[in-house]
Structure 1
Amino acid sequence: MVTISLTWDDGADRSLGLPVYASAGAAGADLRANFPDRGAVVLEPGARALVPTGLRMAIPDGFEVQIRPRSGLALKHGITLPNAPGTIDSDYRGSLGVIVMNAGDQRFEISHGDRIAQMVVAPVMRADLVEVQALDDTTRGAGGFGSTGVSE
């Protein structure tokens, strides 16, 4: 198990508590909207907003935190994260905000304390990036976008 150290932004509503895992098998811990002074943000269809969580974190070297949409919000309301998964690097110490987008066809209100996203802790492997003259051949080759799917 890895430890993520969390602290609060000035003015954040600490009564919302730290992110929590909703079940014993949950991979992601729920993040909540934290804007006690505004109360709510209304997203029209197609709109996006940066929603504060009131948190800052210290992630150990060798790890990242991925920010992902909540499946229920996506299915029921079309609420997603346009840069999913968002990555928080281990050397970032600023405020954690979540870019939320309304891909649905109805306006959607995000209220103070609403669960808006989930955070997943993941290991990071860095690669040695080297230039070569040619790449090895594979059966697939340069086939992309749908090249391995069922043909219609």
Structure 2
Amino acid sequence: MKTRGFEIISMYRAVGIHLPERKTGASTGYDFAAAEEVVIPPGDGALIPTGVKAYMQPDEVLLIYIRSSAALKKHLMLMNSVGVIDADYYGNAENEGHIYIPLYNYGKEPVRIAAGERIAQGIFTHYLTVDGDTAGSGAVRAGGFGSTGS
């Protein structure tokens, strides 16, 4: 039985995408890379495709953070501060659970993100719910960004 991990989404299987990985034994985060080149104009944002989806247990979440080098050297930040990938995002009908990294360029020059460039890191963790929580009783995720609030 699979407990947690990453897979390449179907449209990127022939492209040579690398699955996120930790670089050292003490690293907390799994590095995510851009699946294709994207240029972000100054004062603007873009959704960077990773070509990757994540599977996990129902009581887990994958939190996405900017890599410090992208923030310091390229003047980039996550548009939503911290990305939250829910367990039921995996395999959804709209986009297979494709993880996009929403980056904002707060610098004065365009920023080029190369295909294969590491831009963010993901950390799996457990979460808790309150007594009497009945969320999700039969509800099925239909999409991506903001879809749980619809």
Contact 2:66/2:78, CA 8 A, preserved across alignment? yes
Structure 1: which 5+ runs fail to align? Answer: 131-152
1:53 paired residue among 50, 55, 68: 50
- 2:130 and 2:79 map into 1 onto residues whose CA distance is 26
Contact 1:54/1:95, CA 8 A, preserved across alignment? yes
Structure 2: which 5+ runs fail to align? Answer: 91-96, 134-150
Equivalent residue for 2:7?
7
- 1:10 and 1:3 map into 2 onto residues whose CA distance is 21
TM-score of the aligned structures, taking structure 1 as reference length: 0.74
Contact 1:41/1:109, CA 8 A, preserved across alignment? yes
Q: Which has the higher helix share?
A: 2
Letter in 2 for 1:62: D
- 2:132 and 2:86 map into 1 onto residues whose CA distance is 19
Q: Which runs of structure 2 are paired with 1:64-75 in the superposition (5 Å)?
A: 64-75=61-72
The total of aligned residue pairs comes to: 125
Distance apart, 1:97 and its partner CA = 0.9
Q: What's the % identity of the aligned pairs?
A: 30
Structure showing greater radius of gyration is 1
Letter in 2 for 1:11: M
- 1:64 and 1:52 map into 2 onto residues whose CA distance is 19
Distance 1:14 1:27, change over 3 A: farther
- 1:43 and 1:25 map into 2 onto residues whose CA distance is 32
TM-score of the aligned structures, taking structure 2 as reference length: 0.75
Q: Which runs of structure 2 are paired with 1:1-150 in the superposition (5 Å)?
A: 3-12=3-12, 15-35=16-36, 40-93=37-90, 94-128=97-131
Equivalent residue for 1:150?
none
Secondary structure of the structure 2 residue equivalent to 1:11: helix
- 2:64 and 2:101 map into 1 onto residues whose CA distance is 8
Distance apart, 1:3 and its partner CA = 3.6
Distance apart, 1:16 and its partner CA = 3.3
RMSD (Å) for aligned C-alpha atoms: 2.0
- 1:29 and 1:105 map into 2 onto residues whose CA distance is 29
